[in-house]
Chain A
Amino acid sequence: MLPLIVLLVTIKGLLMALTRRQFLTLMGGSAGAAVFFQACGVPEKELFIDSPIEMPEDLVTGLDNWYATTFKEGMSSQGIIVRIMEGRAKKVEGNTDHPLNRGTHSSSAESMLQLLYHPDRIDAPLLRTGQRGSGEYKEISWEEAIDRLSSQFTSLEQSGEQDKAVLVTDPVNGHLGMVVKKFVSATGIRHMTYEVLEHTTLIKAMDEVFGQDNIPDFDIDNASLVLSFGADFLSTWVSPTRYSRGYGEFRQGHEHRGKLIHIDSRFSTTAANADEWVYVNPGTEGVLALSIMKSIVDSGQVSQDVIEALFDGNSSLLDLYKPELIASFVGVSESKIKEIGDLFVKSEHPIALGGGTAGAYTNGLQNLKAIYSLNHLKGNVGHKGGLVFTPNSPIEGLETTNTNSASEFKSLIDNISTGEIKLLLLKDADLYYGLPDSFGFKEALFDIPFIVSFSNMKDDTASIADLILPQNTLFEDWGTDVPLAGPGYQSVAFQQPVVRPFFESRGDNLGTKSFPDVLMTLSQVLNKNLDLSGDTFLDVLKDGARQLFDLKRGTIQASSFQEFWMTLLARGVWCDVNEKSINNSYVGKVETVPEAKFEGDGRFNLVPFASAAFYDGRYAFAPWMQAMPDPISTATWQTWIEINHKIADELNIKEGDVIEVRSSNGGVITALAMPNPATPPNILGIPVGQGHRDGGRYAAGRGSNVLSILGTNFDDKTGALAWASNKVNITPTGEWIRVPKFENSVPDFPRDEHQQIVEISTGNNNHVGH
């Protein structure tokens, strides 16, 4: 300040005309101050006295830190690093050390920032005060909340009815899974694992075809041909970020460009990226796979050993599937079936994979078994460019809990209706949203005496619960991850809090808590010994890290545990690339595939699909995801219907027409028509993800929930929901709403033969072919 005082004296004459207030105003603005002093010939460097709050943002030079953590997403996960400035999370990027995503990341991982700072997050335990579903709650302390919860457990225990309490979670693994399993075992309650779009048939197929309990890493990177049935693996299926990384290399990472053939009844993102999309009649994917197999076996290029293993030496069951016999049944020409078979058998590293709709019919498991059995013909299990299974975790008890099938949840609802369920606890399991109305859960819910939700926002089920115990978000919590769809070798990823809990200022007795810590506290109150290595979840995690440290192998090794722990948190993941699965010799027998059964006799096959933005509805809370254009329709913020444009013309339907979709069980939703040239004439594609009754300001009351109108068809073998086996009718309501979409947001480019936007190379100049 000293130079200023001198100046004030020097320029006293000038100041005389100014009031004190005018002077201070002038001093407050840097530009004004500069002009003022320059007039007096003051060197410019003397003028750097600006208050930091007035500085332009591009001069902020604060330090940032990047912390590694793990984002779990269904059966898979991504290693991420989060940028932190001044205690706030700013940006998500991929962790280059993580074996699945290796530095890249998905939009859903980015959206976790908007979960952390969502304006509708619950910041304290809530107790219902009004009618169920009225949304009336009062805030209570954690102490009171645990008291209320423990008294529920105690009264059930006293009456010997512990098994009338059910904890429903999403698929949990790592040390969280370990705590859940031990808590369930110690308290005697039931545990069920819920996925909206379950992978039950896929996991069972892995067991029966390969004798494995995990989903393999598909080495798309090094494959020469990918034959995909129904699995939208570039957008939503199992581990799209990992598969997309492989896809980039598959296309342009090698001298020989890989070929992708996608077989599906809907034109998905993967279909759009395929060299060839082959339409198949719904539910006939397995039959088509066996027909391809027949043409391959007939070519004489399969060894007798393989035929022995697959068919006990007699492949005559394939005679039913001669291409000429089944071509019209599956909707694929005889020549195309033979061509695919020829390509597959001649390809050096082919992969056959299936899922999504292919596993979502009444014959879903048999479909997938037939599809995956194709891999045995080429012996590509455990090899480069093939299917690589992941060995067991080096730490016991970290495996993912088995998902319960939809038919098991139907039984649960029956139990609720007969009064056999007295306490329902929910963690990241939005049954109200995910289960079809035909299951009767929405009505049965009101028969459960006490419902507890651990949701951090009022999802559709949480907003009906009696007690809401808000858990921390991903960025505020500890955890570990051993994904079901692993990298093909041992890995354990760590999740750490990258910021302090956002509601920390509310004090210990309010705010949010870690779910496993709540279970551990509850077990202490109930005097149950969980036999865990510590009193907090962090203790349990550290014990896990110590077990890894003691192995003295893998990507992180250190001379002391402290050094190991710090390195582990800095890198986010421990791997041992040398620990690979060695059980690759099992070959499941090939069986015939029965015909799929459909519910209803409507004109259209309803194909609900996981939305690129919302997946199964879990990301609808995030405005970034709501505004993310769907790759195919470019629609945002709404629920739309993919319908063939010629059929739409025939029915006098145009884009934005509000269409009523009616299923045979009486379920009705409305959605906006979006005709396109790719949807098959008999197919109606509707994205899953909207139509929440709650879930925060960006999700609530928006669009329609297509899951709600599904019937109760199950896969014959596993009881999984056959969510693609409904036939529906449509009726225009006469209303019209503008579809919020990205297409045409900007004017068309000038295009002619000299001005092309997407230029195409035939590949003649790029080494293409196999």
Chain B
Amino acid sequence: MVTELHNHPQWGMVVDVDRCTGCNGCVVACQSENNIPINLEEHFNQRRAIQWIRIERYWEGEFPDVKARFIPILCQHCGNAPCEPVCPVYATYHNDEGMNVQVYNRCIGTRFCANGCPYHVRFFNFWEPEWPESLKNQLNPDVTVRSRGIMEKCSFCVQRIQRSTRESERDSVELKDGDRGLNPACVNACPTNALMFGDWNDSESAISQIKEKESYPGGRAYGLLENMGTSPNVIYLKKVDESVGSSNGH
């Protein structure tokens, strides 16, 4: 479905859990695009590794009747985000394109936002990020390297949206739904196309179409922890498993 983008897009994502294989391709693509500091062994041991998008694995049963379920978790860019009102310096706020935005040079590192986020997708920089000199050549000049003492999180690769918008204006070319330049790095990388990105305001966009198709009672669409009232901007599509009862889950 290719349509012209609306003037005031509301960016959002669909995650099809039935397509996801848990390969972690999205995780590495995100780290490459967004200058995520190298997660060293000690960072994992201290539980301070930074992954803007992560794959969670849930066990069900045990050998021989055992299942592992994978689900990608990223910032849900909530319409009613618990992280926003608690920030004393307005470092995190909701912009007019539906995104939860982190302004790094406002952040003073209170970490209130991380405490408030039920999805655990906000990460604190406990250290100054370090790369060997030669690896710095790979850093993305469109993305700020975050210093010690501030929070960071998934931005829906806002730099890609900005660049695509700028370039489309410069070249007088209309942006279309599904343009790969607009897509976050994780979406383009995903080998199974489990991640889809687009504009909720555009009723013809692929994600709007999926939402409409799957949002009936018993359909596959659901919001992660949505009964906490966060109004997540990311929609998940249920994993399909014929062998389990209808109310199963993790």
Interface residues of A in 56-76 (CB under 8 A from B): 56-58, 60-62
Residue of chain A at shortest CB distance from B119: A749
Q: How far is the CB of A687 from chain B (nearest CB, A)?
A: 14
Contact B41 A637 (CB under 8 A): yes
Contact A107 B63 (CB under 8 A): no
Residue of chain A at shortest CB distance from B144: A57
CA distance A92 to B218 in the complex (A): 39
Contact B142 A93 (CB under 8 A): no
Contact B17 A758 (CB under 8 A): yes
- B107 sits at the interface (CB 8 A): no
Contact A245 B192 (CB under 8 A): yes
Residue of chain B at shortest CB distance from A769: B242
In the bound complex, residues from chain B placing their C-beta under 8 Å from that of A681 are 63
Interface residues of B in 1-46 (CB under 8 A from A): 16-19, 21-25, 27-29, 31-33, 38-42, 44-45
In the bound complex, residues from chain B placing their C-beta under 8 Å from that of A277 are 66
CA distance A265 to B194 in the complex (A): 28
Residue of chain A at shortest CB distance from B27: A628
Contact A117 B41 (CB under 8 A): no
CA distance A757 to B71 in the complex (A): 8
Contact B21 A234 (CB under 8 A): yes
Contact B185 A91 (CB under 8 A): yes
Across the interface, B188 reaches (CB within 8 A) one of A85, A94, A680, namely A94
CA distance A634 to B142 in the complex (A): 30
Contact A251 B18 (CB under 8 A): yes
Residue of chain B at shortest CB distance from A121: B134
Q: How far is the CB of A500 from chain B (nearest CB, A)?
A: 12
Interface extent on A, as a size class?
Answer: 35 or more
Residue-wise interface mask of A (607-635) relative to B, using a CB-CB cutoff of 8 A (1 in contact, 0 not): 00000110000000001111111011010
CA distance A626 to B24 in the complex (A): 12
Contact A759 B190 (CB under 8 A): no
- B189 sits at the interface (CB 8 A): yes
- B173 sits at the interface (CB 8 A): no
Q: How far is the CB of A657 from chain B (nearest CB, A)?
A: 16
Q: How far is the CB of A651 from chain B (nearest CB, A)?
A: 16
Across the interface, B39 reaches (CB within 8 A) one of A252, A275, A636, namely A636
Q: Of B85-93, B199-207, B233-241, which binds chain A?
A: B233-241
Contact B242 A118 (CB under 8 A): no
Across the interface, A758 reaches (CB within 8 A) one of B31, B58, B219, namely B58
Q: How far is the CB of A142 from chain B (nearest CB, A)?
A: 21
- A741 sits at the interface (CB 8 A): yes
Contact A117 B137 (CB under 8 A): yes
- A89 sits at the interface (CB 8 A): yes
CA distance A107 to B248 in the complex (A): 32
In the bound complex, residues from chain B placing their C-beta under 8 Å from that of A275 are 241-243
In the bound complex, residues from chain A placing their C-beta under 8 Å from that of B191 are 101, 104-106, 240-241, 244-245, 248
Across the interface, A631 reaches (CB within 8 A) one of B31, B55, B66, namely B55
Q: How far is the CB of A80 from chain B (nearest CB, A)?
A: 11
Across the interface, B44 reaches (CB within 8 A) one of A110, A114, A745, namely A745
Across the interface, B63 reaches (CB within 8 A) one of A116, A677, A757, A762, namely A677
Contact B33 A757 (CB under 8 A): no
In the bound complex, residues from chain A placing their C-beta under 8 Å from that of B96 are none
- A760 sits at the interface (CB 8 A): yes
Contact A758 B239 (CB under 8 A): yes
- B111 sits at the interface (CB 8 A): no
CA distance A249 to B49 in the complex (A): 33
Across the interface, A759 reaches (CB within 8 A) one of B119, B222, B243, namely B222
In the bound complex, residues from chain A placing their C-beta under 8 Å from that of B57 are 272, 631-632, 634, 743
Residue of chain A at shortest CB distance from B133: A119
Known: A248-B192, A757-B250. A765 touches B219 (CB 8 A): yes
In the bound complex, residues from chain A placing their C-beta under 8 Å from that of B120 are 746-747, 749
Residue-wise interface mask of B (123-166) relative to A, using a CB-CB cutoff of 8 A (1 in contact, 0 not): 00000000011111111111111000000000000010010001
In the bound complex, residues from chain B placing their C-beta under 8 Å from that of A766 are 220, 240
CA distance A677 to B238 in the complex (A): 24
In the bound complex, residues from chain A placing their C-beta under 8 Å from that of B105 are 56
Contact A757 B249 (CB under 8 A): yes
Residue of chain B at shortest CB distance from A248: B192
CA distance A765 to B39 in the complex (A): 42
In the bound complex, residues from chain A placing their C-beta under 8 Å from that of B243 are 275-276
Known: A56-B144, A760-B248, A761-B239. A272 touches B180 (CB 8 A): no
Residue of chain B at shortest CB distance from A247: B192
Contact B41 A636 (CB under 8 A): yes
In the bound complex, residues from chain B placing their C-beta under 8 Å from that of A756 are 249-250
Contact A740 B41 (CB under 8 A): yes
CA distance A636 to B141 in the complex (A): 28
Other than the given A85-B141, A110-B28, A742-B49, 6 more pairs (CB < 8 A) read A104-B192, A106-B25, A244-B191, A248-B19, A248-B193, A248-B194
Pairs across A and B, CB under 8 Å, 10 listed: A107-B24, A240-B23, A251-B240, A612-B23, A628-B27, A636-B44, A751-B250, A758-B69, A762-B240, A766-B220
Q: Which 9 A-B pairs have the closest CB atoms?
A: A756-B249, A248-B192, A244-B191, A107-B28, A740-B44, A677-B62, A119-B132, A746-B120, A272-B68
Which residues of chain B have a CB within 8 Å of any CB of chain A?
Answer: 16-19, 21-25, 27-29, 31-33, 38-42, 44-45, 47, 49, 51, 54-59, 61-64, 66-71, 105, 118-120, 132-145, 159, 162, 166, 180, 185, 188-194, 218-220, 222, 224-225, 227-228, 236-250
